[in-house]
Amino acid sequence: MNIFGPSVVDLSKLYSVSLKAASNLLTANIFGFLIGTLSGMIYRWFNRQLIFSLSIILLAVSNGLLPFYGRIEVAFVGYAVSGLGMGVLRSTANMFRMCCPFTEIKHSN
C-alpha cells in the first residue's frame, strides 16, 4: 500500500485518465480488502496453508500486473482483486500468529 501514493501519477499517465480517476483505484482496493477480510474465515473449512499461499499468490500477481491492464476499468477490477488477496492474507495471518512465529515478520512493520 505504501507504493500507491507515489505511483498514482504514473498510473494516471499510463491509463490516460485524470489524477482523480486514477486515485479512485485505492477505493477499489479497500473494497476488495473489506470483502477479503469478511471471507477470511474460509480457513475453517479449507487447508490454512493453502489459503495463505493462494492469497499471497493472488496479491503478488494482481499487483504485478497493475501497469499492464491497459484500461482503467480493468485496473479497478485488478486492484480490487489485489485488495481481496490482502484481506484474506491479513485475516489468515492473524490466525497463524498463534501457531507460526514466522508470520510475526509480516506484522512487525
**Per residue, what are the HEC states of 82-95?**
HHHHHHHHHHHHHH
Residue 62: inside a domain, yes or no? yes
Q: What is the pLDDT of residues 49-87, one digit of tens each?
A: 788 888 889 888 988 888 888 888 998 999 899 888 888
Residue 15: inside a domain, yes or no? no
Residue 6: inside a domain, yes or no? no
**DSSP label at residue 1:** -
Residue 60: inside a domain, yes or no? yes
Q: Taking the model in full, what pTM does it have?
A: 0.76
Residue 5: inside a domain, yes or no? no
> What is the number of domains present in the chain?
1
Per the structure, the complete domain to which residue 82 belongs is given by: 24-108
Residue 3: inside a domain, yes or no? no
Q: In whole angstroms, what is the distance from residue 45 CA to residue 42 CA?
A: 6
Residue 18: inside a domain, yes or no? no
